[in-house]
């Protein structure tokens, strides 16, 4: 686990994503994108890079259960900031369907990933995550049943505090990644990250991200 304090947060994030795509060596680059507000400007800057976009396979670490054009949709934010501006083949953008029944959407996505993974676990080359002020990540919120999931890769989770349903990757899928990169900004979150890194912060869902055979980097910005 590596903690990187960055004074060039967006540039450092873009460089790390670009480097991971180059490391894929011209083969498929499985990249999972996170939602929320922090990554928007990273995705915008990433779209300016000259990368092998045709090799990118895009998944979404979580999604709000809304239509893809809803202002709360992570897909909409990512499409506007990145996908509409680069030449990733449409069939390589594996969208979580927030507009259909949550359980059905989770089942469909699970099946899609398993079809692509064959007998193996679906391993992301790089999986991006944010973290909330309560230590949630993806849509794994404190006390959620989804935190206990050890078999499924994608579940629907009712987030009590938001009175809303979410779709989210689970720890088994997240922790199968070759690289996990947290993108976190702000002093209040910094304190949570430091607690997680020093251990004993199991109350925070982000502390459950521990890649089994991969790297974990916390990129902290102002």
Positions touching ligand 6PG (CB under 6 A) are 34-38, 62, 74, 130-132, 136-139
Phi and psi at 162, nearest 5°, equal: -100, -5
Task: Find tokens 């199968």 and name the residue.
Answer: 176
Joined together, the tokens standing for residue 182 give 């947290």
Least distance in angstroms from the C-beta of 140 to ligand 6PG: 8
How is 12-35 classified by DSSP, letter by letter? HHHHHHHHHHHHTTTS-EEEEE--
Beta carbon nearer to ligand 6PG, 57 or 78? 78
Nearer to ligand 6PG, 35 or 214 (CB): 35
In angstroms, give the least distance from the CB of 201 to ligand 6PG: 17
Could you tell me the smallest distance in angstroms from the CB atom of residue 186 to ligand 6PG? 7
CB 118 → ligand 6PG: shortest distance, Å? Answer: 28
In 23-178, DSSP assigns E strands to 29-33, 56-60, 62-64, 126-129, 154-159, 164-169
The smaller minimum CB distance to ligand 6PG, of residues 62 and 149, is found at: 62
- Residue 182: half-sphere exposure toward Cβ, Cα within 13 Å: 35
Which lies closer to ligand 6PG via its Cβ, residue 13 or residue 131?
Answer: 131
């Amino acid at each position: 686990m590596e903690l990187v304090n960055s004074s060039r947060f967006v540039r450092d994030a873009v460089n790390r994503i670009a480097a991971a795509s180059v490391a894929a060596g011209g083969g498929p680059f499985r990249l999972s994108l996170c939602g929320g507000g922090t990554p928007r400007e990273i995705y915008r800057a990433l779209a300016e890079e000259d990368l092998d976009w045709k090799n990118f396979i895009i998944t979404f670490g979580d999604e709000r259960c809304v239509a893809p054009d809803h202002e709360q949709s992570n897909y909409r934010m990512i499409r506007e900031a990145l996908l509409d501006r680069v030449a990733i083949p449409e069939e390589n953008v594996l969208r979580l369907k927030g507009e259909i029944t949550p359980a059905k959407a989770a089942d469909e996505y699970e099946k899609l990933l398993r079809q692509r993974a064959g007998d193996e676990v679906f391993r992301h080359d790089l999986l991006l995550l944010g973290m909330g002020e309560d230590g949630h990540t993806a849509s794994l919120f404190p006390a959620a049943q989804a935190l206990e999931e050890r078999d499924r890769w994608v579940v629907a989770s009712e987030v009590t505090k938001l009175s809303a349903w979410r779709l989210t990757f689970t720890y088994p899928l997240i922790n199968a990644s070759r690289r996990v990169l947290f993108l976190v900004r702000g002093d209040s979150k910094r304190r949570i990250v430091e607690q997680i890194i020093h251990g004993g912060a199991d109350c925070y869902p982000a502390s459950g991200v521990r890649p089994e055979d991969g790297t974990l980097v916390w990129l902290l910005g102002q």
